[in-house]
Structure 1
Amino acid sequence: MTVPNISIIIVSWNVKNYLRECIISIYKASGGVSLEVIVVDNASTDYSAEMIIREFPKVRLVRNDRNLGFSRANNQAIKLSHGKYILFLNPDTVIIDKSIDMLHSFIENHNEVIVVGPMILNADGKTIQYQCARTFPTLWREFCGLSEISIHLKNIPSFSYINLDYWDHKDSKYIDLISGACMMCRKEIVEKINLFDEDYFLYADDVDFCFRMREHGLIYYLAEAKIIHYGGQSSRQSDDDLWLLRCDSTRIFFKKHKGLHYSLGYRAVVILSQVIRFILILISNIRKAKFPPKESIMQIWKLIQWGLHFK
């Protein structure tokens, strides 16, 4: 068997049509790079697995009988992969032009770089998703993001959320972390850090992954390479549920890398941030002679409740 240069790993759950479009774009954009595609289906009920078998016989399919989450499913595929490099790719993405070649060429020619990621565009193909290149979370950055102070003061770096909203993300640079929606890594380093941490079911898995990868080399944001990311198609839940998942995953990250007291402090930050957020929403709506949106108030209350469950 010919050993591929790149193993592309896609973890999918109930996104059949997006997954089809994603795989088609991979083969169109692969250029001269040899690759293998591994899809891990997390117990989809929309016949995604059957579609893969029928339409993409070259794709290696792993079928789980339940949803194992992002980290565990990726680890399954890593153990089956043969490439020198691994490209982790969300199923609701589309590769633009020769972006796989560009990522591969860059990491191949820069030995100090162990992870590289592209610019990620919204469905309009124009606006940038700023989570494609970020910094690591701290209590202050989480406070600014959760309270939405970062939105009101987005041009001031010291008040920025982890997405670095003051930066337009149009230039390439070394960065702390990139989005797990699309990141190319050296497999030997992925194995060295013992793969993804399976304590994360969804969210912050890429934050933890990049945090540990950074101990072995540099991470680079390559703005010339581009993909489209439809976003959140494998996690269709209410915004409230997604925020709670994000908070819980961030708590796990803080507890693991900063200690128990830091993670408990994070719960206090969530509570305080929602109090500030409520005040800001109230002031804004009083000026407009409107009642605060019910959905925002309910979300604030749910996050405060989460923060009060100290453990």
Structure 2
Amino acid sequence: MPERPSNISQPLGPNPKVSFVTVCYKTPGLIRLLLKGVEASDFKFDFEFFLVDNAPGDGTGDMVRQRFPWVQVIDAPRNIGFGAGNNLAIKKALGQYIMLLNPDITVFAGELEKLVKFMDEHPDVAFCGPALNNPDGTRQDSCYRFPHWTIPFYRRTVLGRLPRGRRAVSRYLMRDVMPVQKPIETDALMGSAIMMKKTVLDEIGLFDEKYFMYFEELDICRRAWEKRWRVVYFPHSRLVHYHRRESKVEWPWKIITNRPARAHIVSALYYFRKYWGKPNPHANERPVF
């Protein structure tokens, strides 16, 4: 296991509580900031950290190996996508919990300990997501209801400006119940920051690699609910997310030149084809804790 720098007091143990997994693609600056934040957080639990480099050869992996030797770098053969990249690391992870972190997440001391404590106290919870804030402190939409097939069109085209579209998107993003002051069940969580119980992943399977990017977190949360596990939004833990909606497109013909938008549409088509006609596995009201 990689040696941990002397400025971090908590040693890496042979049986880590948490396995961090980050997938990156040509974001060395963000990765450097994320890992510096992890060093400064001084977590009160043993952990291991995996970085999956989806752009081998761009120098990110070499930078991390030199500057952050406690990180286990996995070089993907090519850009294999978000879900497949996470799967590479999850298969090697030893932690009780898997903590997915996007490169554009900023962590703070004590915040992830709250997630660990909640998961320890609620063994029926499969996945738990923190509140995500913008850099200016405003709340991001980071938990969702399972979408109707019209949602991608409302979100990616001018149809979303119409009253019907605005109402549908607002409901999908749970803005009718947000913000909340207590943990609450949710259909799905944003994949940028999710704590996942490893034994649940062993039961339901890892990310569906047919999604290159987008919708994979909806899919895996749905599979957790189908097995009667719970998915929870936890507002007492807060992280900052430098979020950019790279797939946002308002005019359909612009999808041709916007690769993230194309990936979003392809993933949406696969998701709705996969679950077409199947009942919502979490159709009840969303109780708080």
- Larger radius of gyration between Structure 1 and Structure 2: 1
TM category (shorter chain) comes to 0.7 to 0.9
TM-score by length of 2: 0.80
d(CA) in 2 for partners of 1:192 and 1:49? 31
From 81, 98, 111, the equivalent of 2:110 is: 98
1:138-195 CA deviation, whole Å, 9 max, x = no partner? Answer: 1244454445565554998666352223343343311111111000011011121121
Q: Corresponding residue for 1:203?
A: 214
Contact 2:215 2:267 in 1 (8 A): yes
1:115-144 CA deviation, whole Å, 9 max, x = no partner? Answer: 1000111232x11221x1111111244454
Contact 1:149 1:159 in 2 (8 A): no
2:98 partner letter: I
Which stretch shows the higher mean deviation, 4-13 or 140-149? Answer: 140-149
Which stretch shows the higher mean deviation, 221-230 or 234-243? Answer: 234-243
Q: How far off its partner does 1:26 sit?
A: 2.1
From 4, 13, 37, the equivalent of 2:25 is: 13
**Residue-pair matches, total:** 258
Cα-Cα RMSD: 2.8
1:223-273 CA deviation, whole Å, 9 max, x = no partner? Answer: 11111111249989987432222121111111111169xxxxxxxxxxxxx
Contact 2:246 2:261 in 1 (8 A): no
Contact 2:43 2:109 in 1 (8 A): no
Q: Corresponding residue for 2:270?
A: 252
Contact 1:13 1:234 in 2 (8 A): no
1:261-308 CA deviation, whole Å, 9 max, x = no partner? Answer: xxxxxxxxxxxxxxxxxxxxxxxxxxxxxxxxxxxxxxxxxxxxxxxx
1:188-222 CA deviation, whole Å, 9 max, x = no partner? Answer: 11121121101011111111111111223101101
Contact 1:154 1:160 in 2 (8 A): no
Q: How far off its partner does 1:20 sit?
A: 1.1
Contact 2:108 2:239 in 1 (8 A): yes
d(CA) in 1 for partners of 2:71 and 2:245? 21
Report whether the alignment pairs 1:133 with 2:143. yes
Contact 2:21 2:50 in 1 (8 A): yes
TM-score by length of 1: 0.75
Contact 2:19 2:93 in 1 (8 A): yes
1:255 partner letter: R
**Higher fraction of helix:** 1
Q: Which runs of 5+ in 2 are unaligned?
A: 1-12, 279-289
Q: Corresponding residue for 1:60?
A: 72
| 1:214 partner SS | helix
Q: Percent identity?
A: 26
Q: Corresponding residue for 1:160?
A: 170
1:206 partner letter: E
